[in-house]
C-alpha cells in the first residue's frame, strides 16, 4: 500500500506577504504623521500660552506681595521673541541670546522667557511694556499679546483689572473661544 507523502505545512510568512504588510504600515504612517505634527505644534502653542498667562499672574502677584510695581517688557528680534518680568521702569531689562536678561543697575529680573524663531512660535504685543500696580493690582496699559504659530494663533487679552482672557482669532485651536 502506497501512502501519499504528508503535505508540509508552511511556517512563517513569505517575502511578498512581508512586503505587502510593510507597505500598508508605511502608507498608514504617511497619512497620520502630518496630523501628529500639527497636533504637536498646537500643543506647543497651547503650552506657551499657558506659560505666558502664568507669568502674567506671577507679575501681578509679585507686585502686590512686594508692594512694589512690577513690569513685563516684550521684545522681538531675528532670533525670536522674549519677555522679561522685572521691578524697574520700561526698557530697563532686555533679552539677549543667553538665559540671563541684561538689566540696568538696581533692577531685579524676576522671570525671562525667550521663544526661539526656529521653534515656530512668535510673541507679538500691542504694547512694549505693561505695568502691574502694587497698590491696586491693576495693569497699565491694557494689552493684547498674540502668540502666532503655523497651526493658528492665540491671543492673551489683559484688562485693566489684570484679568487674562485667552481666545483664538481664527478659531483654529479647538476648545478655545474665538475672538
CA angle centred on 21, ends 15 and 22, rounded to 5°: 90
**Contact, 160 vs 150, CB < 8 A?**
no
Residue-wise pLDDT for 87-125, tens only, equals 999 999 988 766 688 899 999 999 999 998 888 899 999
What is the phi/psi pair of residue 40, to 5°? Answer: -60, -45
Domain range summary for the chain, segments of one domain joined by +: 15-167
| Dihedral, CA of residue 2, residue 3, residue 4 and residue 7, to nearest 10 | -160
CA angle centred on 156, ends 147 and 90, rounded to 5°: 90
Of the candidates 123, 175, 172, 171, the residue with the CA atom closest to the CA atom of residue 151? 172
Please give the sequence-ordered ranges of beta strands (E in DSSP) within 11-121, or none if there are none: 70-77, 80-86, 93-94, 102-103, 109-116
Measured CA to CA, the distance from residue 23 to residue 30 in angstroms comes to 10
Residue-wise pLDDT for 36-67, tens only, equals 888 888 899 999 999 999 999 999 999 999 99
Residue-wise pLDDT for 60-76, tens only, equals 999 999 999 999 999 98
Across the range 151-155, mean pLDDT stands at 92
Task: Tell me the fold of 15-167.
Answer: minor pseudopilin epsh fold (3.55.40)
**Contact, 121 vs 115, CB < 8 A?**
yes
**Contact, 73 vs 91, CB < 8 A?**
yes
Amino acid at each position: 500500500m502506497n501512502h501519499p507523502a504528508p503535505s508540509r505545512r508552511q511556517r512563517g510568512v513569505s517575502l511578498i506577504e512581508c512586503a505587502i504588510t510593510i507597505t500598508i504600515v508605511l502608507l498608514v504612517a504617511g497619512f497620520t504623521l502630518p496630523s501628529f505634527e500639527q497636533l504637536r505644534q498646537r500643543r506647543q502653542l497651547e503650552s506657551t500660552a499657558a506659560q505666558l498667562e502664568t507669568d502674567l499672574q506671577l507679575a501681578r502677584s509679585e507686585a502686590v506681595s512686594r508692594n512694589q510695581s512690577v513690569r513685563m517688557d516684550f521684545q522681538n528680534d531675528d532670533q525670536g521673541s522674549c519677555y522679561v518680568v522685572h521691578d524697574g521702569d520700561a526698557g530697563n531689562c532686555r533679552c539677549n541670546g543667553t538665559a540671563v536678561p541684561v538689566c540696568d543697575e538696581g533692577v531685579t529680573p524676576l522671570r525671562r522667557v525667550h521663544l526661539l524663531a526656529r521653534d515656530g512660535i512668535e510673541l507679538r504685543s500691542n504694547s512694549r511694556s505693561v505695568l502691574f500696580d502694587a497698590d491696586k493690582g491693576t495693569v497699565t496699559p491694557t494689552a493684547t499679546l498674540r502668540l502666532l504659530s503655523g497651526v493658528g494663533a492665540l491671543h492673551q487679552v489683559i484688562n485693566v483689572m489684570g484679568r487674562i482672557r485667552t481666545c483664538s482669532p481664527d478659531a483654529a485651536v479647538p476648545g478655545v473661544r474665538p475672538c
